[in-house]
Amino acid sequence: MEKVIIIRYAEIHLKGKNRGWFEKVFAVNIEKNLKGIRHELRRLSGRYLVENFNEEDTDTVVNRLMKVFGIHSISIAQKVSSDMQNIYEAALSVCPETGTFKVETHRADKTFSLNSMQISAEIGGKLLENNKNLKVDVHNPQSTVYIDLRENGTALVFGKFFKGAGGMPVGTAGKGMLLLSGGIDSPVAGHMIAKRGMSLECIHFHSYPYTNMMAKEKVIELAKILSPYTCGIKLNIVSVTHIQEEIHKNCNADYMVTLLRRFMMRLSERIAIKNGAQCIITGESLAQVASQTIEGMTSSNSVIGKLPVLRPLCGFDKDEIIERSRAIGTYATSIEPYEDCCTVFLPEHPVTRPKLAEVEAEESKLNVALLIDEALSNIEVIKV
Ligand code: ATP
Ligand code: MG
């Protein structure tokens, strides 16, 4: 009897002609997440099997697989050679102690001497005989013992399905540039887009020395938490200190955030294109804060020439975002106190519904092109 893990995938089987490519990317991503753990990954029809790992690594393997997008569900199974005594012993090991149950058999090996119904009946009968606290209920059982007879003379026996991360394999839907702030929202936004198969690269803007270095450490930590979901992450750290100083010196103070956001967008688009990213992703949510009005978004979108901006959280309430952030594991880090560059020179009355003409009039007091080139010339790159 060998412990193995069955991986079932989600929507990949819908992808007609491209299916082979999707499966290849999927397998590579699984291997990346299992790096450093002894195992073998084998493809069966419509699923994958992780075998040959040390039993004490089971939890680690399961936890790492839970962060691979494209996985619909997994089961921890006993693999035995297909003979009724072996199958019974495996069934016994996954069967509950008490309650109602049924046995469900899937027989890919059509040459096996018994059919699915007969196998279920015989194994179910023996389990009942062995344990008087069990009762069969084929319609609404508390537990099910699943037997999967493969063509290669082995049977997989298991009792539970664990829901996987879902979505599509990362790397099958292009690449996006995530604006990662250190707050609660942007890691959740990145996670949602990665779930649909997009690889991520991140940009973080800081205003050192107005903001402290802990802010940077925090963002690195957030990128680390996201990294298993995204099969690695590259983080671009960009200073906007001089840009903010120039806005502060030359422009109406109320436009600080609005103008800064436009600089962030311009910088993001340039860095995205240079690195082959096809869109910009932010954690903005409509009406969440003063700058996240539709007018604010119009103002920041209007400086973007080529790439779409994805704002997956636009329709979410804060508590829904927090729930997701807890689920993916970023919440505790996100709420650590720190100063975002948006809090530097923060005006008392920021414009909430900026008119484009007025924004542009304020911005015309700056040498935008020079400030952008300056910021781009000094990017720190960290591979997480
Ligand atoms: P978050 O929780 O993601 O920080 P927020 O609610 O604080 O979002 P804002 O500060 O208005 O909202 O930021 C909106 C979005 O702009 C962020 O979700 C992020 O994508 C981007 N952003 C803001 N500040 C930064 C920064 N310092 N570096 C990179 N991106 C940023
Ligand atoms: Mg923020």
Measured on CA atoms in the order 107, 110, 116, 122, is the torsion positive or negative?
A: negative
Phi, psi of 159 (to 5 degrees): -120, -15
Instruction: Give residue 169's pLDDT.
Output: 95
Report phi then psi at 11, rounded to 5. -90, 0
pLDDT of residue 14: 65
Instruction: Report pLDDT digits (tens) over 11-45.
Output: 766 667 788 889 999 999 999 999 999 999 999 88
Q: What is the pLDDT of residue 8?
A: 95
pLDDT of residue 377: 97
**What does each C-alpha distance from 323 to 156, 293, 328, 353 come to in angstroms?**
36, 23, 9, 29
Q: Which amino acid is at 259?
A: L
Give the closest ligand to the alpha carbon of residue 330: 1
Q: What is the mean pLDDT of residues 37-61?
A: 94
Lowest mean pLDDT among 148-152, 256-260, 367-371: 148-152
Contact in structure between 159 and 143 (CB atoms under 8 Å): yes
Q: How far is the CA of 220 from the centre of ligand 2 (A)?
A: 15
Q: Do 106 and 146 meet the contact criterion of CB atoms below 8 Å apart?
A: yes
The reply to whether the predicted model has a pTM over 0.85 is: yes
Question: For residue 193, what are its two tokens?
Answer: 């887009």
Cα(45)–Cα(6) distance, rounded to whole angstroms? Answer: 12
Q: Cα(39)–Cα(54) distance, rounded to whole angstroms? A: 8
The closest residue, in CA terms, to atom 25 on ligand 1 is 181
The CA-based diameter of the chain, rounded to the nearest angstrom, is 87
Nearest CA to ligand 1 atom 20: 282
For ligand 1, mutation pick of 177, 179, 238 (most atoms within 8 Å of CB):
179
Closest ligand relative to 218 C-alpha: 1
- pLDDT-derived band at 212 (thresholds 50, 70, 90) equals confident
By percentage, how much of the chain surpasses pLDDT 90? 83
Residue 256: pLDDT band by 50, 70, 90 thresholds? very high
For residue 264, the CA-to-ligand 2 centroid distance in Å is 13
How far away, in angstroms, is 332 Cα from ligand 2 center?
15
38 CA → ligand 2 middle, Å: 40
Q: What are phi and psi of 25, to 5 degrees?
A: -60, -40
Nearest CA to ligand 1 atom 13: 284
Residue-wise pLDDT tens digits, 339-357: 777 777 888 888 888 899 9
What does the alpha-carbon distance between residue 356 and residue 296 come to, in Å, rounded to a whole number? 9
Residue nearest atom 10 of ligand 1, based on CA coordinates: 342
* The pLDDT of residue 291 is above 80: no
Q: Which pLDDT does position 120 carry in this prediction?
A: 97
What percent of the chain has a predicted confidence (pLDDT) above 70?
Answer: 98
Q: How many A from CA of 378 to the centre of ligand 1?
A: 21
* pLDDT for residue 257: 92
Residues 6 or more apart whose CB falls under 8 angstroms from that of 162 comprise 62, 66, 73, 74, 75
Best residue for ligand 1 mutational test, from 181, 243, 263 (most atoms within 8 Å of Cβ): 181
Q: Give the distance (Å) from ligand 2 centre to CA of residue 371.
A: 22
Q: Which residues approach ligand 1 with their CB closer than 6 A?
A: 179-181, 183-186, 203-205, 282-284, 288-289, 291-292, 340-342
Tens-place pLDDT, residues 90-102: 999 999 999 999 9
Q: Which ligand is nearest to the CA of 190?
A: 1
Ligand 2: distance of its center to the CA of 364 in Å? 26
Task: Give the position, in ligand 1's atom list, of the atom nearest the Cα of 184.
Answer: 2
| Res 126 pLDDT > 90 | yes
CA 169 – CA 24 distance, rounded (Å): 10
Query: For residue 281, which atom of ligand 1 is closest to its CA?
Result: 20
CA 1 to chain CA centroid, nearest Å: 34
Mean pLDDT score, 132-152: 94
- CA of 313, closest atom in ligand 1: 18
Nearest to 372 by CA among 269, 252, 290: 269
Burial class (CB in 10 A: 0-12, 13-18, 19+), 364: exposed
Q: What separation in Å is there between the alpha carbon of 245 and the centre of ligand 2?
A: 19
Distance 262 CA to ligand 2 centre (A): 15
pLDDT band at 275 (very low <50, low <70, confident <90, very high): very high
Query: CB of 170 within 8 A of CB of 230?
Result: yes
Instruction: Provide DSSP, 289-329.
Output: STT-SHHHHHHHHTT--SS-EE-TTTT--HHHHHHHHHHHT
Write the DSSP symbol of residue 147.
E
Q: Which ligand is nearest to the CA of 185?
A: 1
Q: Which ligand is nearest to the CA of 316?
A: 1
Provide the mean pLDDT of the chain. Answer: 94
Under 8 Å between Cβ of 203 and 375: no
